[in-house]
């Protein structure tokens, strides 16, 4: 969160929602961010937005999940961190 922006992780829906404080002091929803379509996090379908940090115009999004290994049936934990540098126009580029 910053003085003008608020990011809320919704890991159950595999997304992060970004709000901006407008001139009337009300929060407006301006962006919904999802993991890259070809990522293992997108394939897992949950956990994107599990943890967030926002500082100096950079939003860091954490994600984790478990996958059952076909070879022996055990679970394998994995995670990812994505960083997004916001510009004044709220365009962003998602980087794993």
Identify whether 91 is part of a domain: no
Strand order in the sheet with 75-85: 51-55, 58-68, 75-85, 94-95
Identify whether 15 is part of a domain: yes
Identify whether 43 is part of a domain: yes
Identify whether 21 is part of a domain: yes
Note the pLDDT of residue 76: 76
Dihedral (Cα; 42, 2, 93, 23), 10-degree rounding: 110
Q: 91 in the Ramachandran plot: left (φ > 0), alpha (ψ -120 to 50) or beta?
A: beta
Domain that holds residue 12: 4-85
Identify whether 93 is part of a domain: no
Q: How many domains does the chain have?
A: 1
pLDDT in tens, 3-17: 788 899 999 999 999
d(CA 15, CA 40): 14
pLDDT in tens, 66-84: 766 667 777 778 888 899 8
Identify whether 69 is part of a domain: yes
pLDDT in tens, 26-47: 999 998 999 988 887 888 777 8
Identify whether 90 is part of a domain: no
Query: Which among 49, 58, 48, 40 has a CA at the least distance from the CA of 1?
Result: 58
Identify whether 94 is part of a domain: no
């Amino acid at each position: 969160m910053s003085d003008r922006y608020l990011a809320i992780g919704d890991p159950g829906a595999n997304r992060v929602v970004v709000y901006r404080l407008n001139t009337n002091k009300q929060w407006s929803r301006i962006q919904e961010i999802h993991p890259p379509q070809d990522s293992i996090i997108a394939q897992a379908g949950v956990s994107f937005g599990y943890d967030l940090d926002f500082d100096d115009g950079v939003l860091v999004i954490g994600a984790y999940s478990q996958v059952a290994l076909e070879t022996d049936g055990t679970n394998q934990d994995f995670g990812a961190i994505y960083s997004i540098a916001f510009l004044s126009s709220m365009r962003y580029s998602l980087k794993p």
